Amino acid sequence: MGRRPCCDKVGVKKGPWTPEEDIVLVSYIQEHGPGNWRAVPTNTGLHRCSKSCRLRWTNYLRPGIRRGSFTDHEEKMIIHLQALLGNRWAAIASYLPQRTDNDIKNYWNTHLKKKLIENKNLQAEGRSKDGFSSSSLSHPHSISRGQWERRLQTDIHMARQALCEALSPEKPTFKSELQSSYGFTSYTSTTTYASSAENIARLLKGWVRNSPKLASTTKNSSATTSSEETPNKVEAFGSLFGCGFESFDSSANSDLSQCMSPESSFLQDESKQDLSAHDQIPQLSLLEKWLFDDQSDLKLDESALIF
C-alpha cells in the first residue's frame, strides 16, 4: 500500500495566494487555532494543499512576523548562528522570532552568502599580498588536527562574540526587539499581532489598488456589486481584527494598540503559545547564560579572528 499524498493532486490550487484566501485562512485559524492542517482545506473550502495552508500561515500570515530589511544586529546574528548551526534555518529563526525561517534562508542566499564570499576573496587577496597562502583554507583536509581544532574553537568564539554583542543589553534596538518578542517588560504590546495585521492590510491595499473588480467569494461578503465589494471586504477584514482598515497604515502602527479588540487578542495569545511551544525563551536564556558565563574564558588571540 503506497503512501497517501497529503492532499488530492487533482483540483488543488497552486501559486500565489489571493487576499480572499488569506482572509478565509486567517478567519479559520482565528476560530480554531493553528494545527490540524489536514483539516484546514476541507473545513475552509480552500482548494489548497494542507501544506500550502501551513506554509502560508507560518511564513506570511502568522502574527509577529516582521517584514522589511534586516537590521545590522539581525544580520550579525544570522551570520554567526549560521556559522554555529549550519543551514538549520528553523533553529536560527528560533533566535529571531520575528523572522521566518524562509525569510532568513532567502536573506542568506541572496545577500549574506555573496557578502561573505566577497569578504573571503578580499581576505584571500590581502593574505596573498602579505605572503600568506590560502591553500590551507581552501583545502581543509590538508590542515593538521591541531589546526582544525583551533579553527573550530575560533569559529565558536566568533559566534559567541557576535551573539554576545547582539544580545548586549546596551543595544537599544535589539533590546526592544527582545522585549516585544519575549514580553520582558509588557507583552501587552501589540507588536507581534500588529505586524501581522499590517502585513495583511498592506496586502489588501495592493489588492484594492490592483484589482478593483474581484469576484466575491469570501464568506464575509455577500453578493454585492463590484463597486461595493472591495470596501465591504476590507471592512469585513477590518472587523475581523476589530478595527478599521484605515488604521493599518504603515505610519499608524502606534494606533494599533488602540484598535485592538478583545477578540483579536487571541492572536497574541496564540503568538505567546507559539513562543513557548518552541521553547524559545529557554533557548535564549540558555544561550545568554552560555555567552555571559563564558566571557572570562574568551582568551583566544583576537588576531586569529578573521571575519
In the DSSP assignment, the letter for residue 57 is I
The answer to whether residues 287 and 216 touch, using CB atoms and an 8 Å cutoff, is no
Of 124, 85, 68, give the one whose Cα is nearest residue 283: 85
CB 37 within 8 A of CB 54: yes
Q: What's the number of CA atoms in the CB half-sphere (13 Å) around residue 290? A: 13
Distance of CA 156 to CAs 142, 164, 249, 254, 299, Å?
A: 21, 12, 43, 40, 12
Q: Smaller CB distance to DNA: residue 73 or 99?
A: 99
Q: What is the 3-state secondary structure (H, E, C) of 34-53?
A: CCCCCHHHHHHCCCCCHHHH
With beta carbons less than 8 A apart as the criterion, state whether 234 and 204 touch. yes
The smaller minimum CB distance to DNA, of residues 122 and 306, is found at: 122
Closest approach of Cβ 175 to DNA, in Å? 25
Number of other CB atoms surrounding residue 259 within 10 Å: 19
Q: Distance between CA atoms of 248 and 236, rounded to whole angstroms?
A: 14
In angstroms, give the least distance from the CB of 304 to DNA. Answer: 28
Contacts of 207 (CB under 8 A, 6+ apart): 18, 19, 214, 230
What residue ranges bind DNA (CB under 7 A)? 1, 3-4, 6, 13-17, 35-38, 48-52, 54-56, 59-60, 67, 87-91, 101-103, 105-107, 109-111
Between 106 and 295, name the residue whose CB sits nearer to DNA. Answer: 106
CB of 82 to DNA, least distance (A): 10
Of residues 109 and 258, the one with the C-beta less far from DNA:
109
Query: Which residue lies nearer to DNA by CB, 49 or 158?
Result: 49
Closest distance to DNA from the beta carbon of 92 (Å): 7
Minimum CB distance to DNA, residue 287 (Å): 17
Q: What is the smallest separation between the CB atom of 15 and DNA, expressed in angstroms?
A: 5
SS3 state at 3? coil
**Cβ nearer to DNA, comparing 20 with 103:** 103
Comparing CB distances to DNA, the nearer of 64 and 161 is: 64
Query: Nearest distance from residue 93's CB to DNA, in Å?
Result: 7
CB of 1 or CB of 223, closer to DNA: 1
| CA dist., res. 264 & res. 267, Å (int) | 6
Alpha-carbon span 199 to 205, nearest angstrom: 10
Cell of 35: 494545527
Taking the complex as a whole, how short is the minimal distance between the CB of residue 86 and DNA, in angstroms? 8
Task: For residue 141, give Cα distances in angstroms to 29, 120, 145, 148, 232.
Answer: 51, 19, 9, 9, 65
